[in-house]
Structure formats: C-alpha cells, structure tokens
Amino acid sequence: MVAKIRLYVDHPLGAEQSVPLSRDHAHYLFGVMRQGVGAQVLLFNGRDGEWRAEVAEAGKRGGILTCLEQSAPLRMPPDLWLLFAPIKKARTDFIVEKAAEMGAARIIPVQTDFTNSDRIRQDRLQAHAIEAAEQCGGTFVPEVADLHRLDRLLADWPADRQLVFCDETLAGETGHLDPADRARPGAILIGPEGGFSDAERTRLRGLPFTRSITLGPRILRADTAAVAALTLWQSQLGDWP
C-alpha cells in the first residue's frame, strides 16, 4: 500500500493552478517523504475540494505543484459547533483532533467557572485541526476559535441554534436528542473535568435553546465525552445515514 500524501494549502485550487509550497511542506515532501519532480500528492484548502497535483519544481526551501484534476468535491460537515473547556494540553489537542474527524464545523474553547486556563494556543489547535483533516481524508477544516467566556457566549447566543448540554448530573435519567431538531443548527457543550458550577448548570437548564442529554452512568473524561456526544449528534441529527 502506498500512502497517499494529503496536504492542506491556503491557496486557491483549480485546473492547471500553480500552488507554491511553504518551506515546511517542502521539507516534509522532499526531505522526509523523499518525493521529487513528477510525484503526485493530494491538495485541499477547505474550499475547493481535493485536487490531485504534481510536483513541478522541488527545492529545499519551497517548490511548486500543479493541479491536475479534482479528486473529490468539497464535503461540508453539518452546521455543528463543539464548545469545550480546555483541559490538560494533550487532551485539549485530542479534543480538537477528534472534533475535526467527527465533523464539527466550528470548535470553540470556552472558559467556564471551573476552567483553569485563561488562554489557549489558538494557532497550535488550528494546526491540529488541519492535521486531522489531512490524515482523515477531509476536504473541510473546522475553524478553531479563540477562547470565549461561556457566560458571554450564552448572552449572545443565536436563538435558532440548539445547544446540547452534556449534563453529568443527569446520569440515570432520560435525556436524549429529538429527531425533530434535525433541521436546526446545533452545538455541543462539554464541561471541564470538575463539571459545571451550580450557577452555570442552573442557567444552562433555564435557557430556551438548550437541551440536556446524558452520556450514560459512568463518569467520562472530557475528551471521551466529546467523541461520545459528537457520535450521538451525528448519528441522530447529523449526516450519518
């Protein structure tokens, strides 16, 4: 099996389009992967689908690719946001990677009452989302937003977007998605390891656009909860058949 090399480029893609390579990509493609002029790779930019391209020039600090033909159309995920409270570095990276794989359209780190961090490395998290799309055959890359305060996000919340609130205190009770909400834009909110504060929980439950669901009788880590909630949403309201 020859591994297909897929690269995300921030450049327009189209028939016979020339695409310059960044220094990092040139290093990866020609240095690490030992490719040269004539080699074929797959390119995507999150807008124009996936294109088969050929190396036209190869250098140590850059190169040029030429697009040959579109190999896959742009495939947009459903209009789903994932809101999560940043946790330890490795698990935060993991949540972003998984959200990209599972088809979240937008990823928003949120600061809650029990969130320890007051800033994130947005650029690093965005790079993780790109890498996940490269690895997983995605043609779309979710935007990773900067850290938002949860209370302010809720104050400005668009009323038509349903906010699915994974409430760990619901364990044992019924709490599930409703197929009638299939047409609505959605969002999933995953709390930090310490859960939500009582004030936050009371407020969330009282908002007209939230829906509380349970993720079962066991306590899940935040990263597990993110994948589980994305699975429920995509399989019941999203684009899983």
> Closer to a copy of itself at the Cβ: 21 or 100?
100
Closer residue to a copy of itself in complex, CB, 47/60? 47
What does the binding site for a copy of itself look like in residue numbers (CB under 8 A)?
Answer: 1, 75, 77, 98, 101-103, 135-138, 172-175, 194, 214-221, 224, 227-228, 230-232, 234-235, 238-241
| Nearest distance from C-beta of residue 58 to a copy of itself, angstroms | 28
Using the minimum distance from each CB to a copy of itself, give the nearer residue, 6 or 25.
6
Q: Which is nearer to a copy of itself, 40 or 214 (CB)?
A: 214
CB of 105 to a copy of itself, least distance (A): 12
Farthest CA pair distance, the chain? 61
CB of 20 to a copy of itself, least distance (A): 28
Measure the CA–CA gap between 46 and 135, rounded to whole angstroms. 14
Least distance CB 196 / a copy of itself (angstroms): 13
**Least distance in angstroms from the C-beta of 94 to a copy of itself:** 8
Return the number of the residue (54 or 134) whose C-beta is nearest a copy of itself.
134
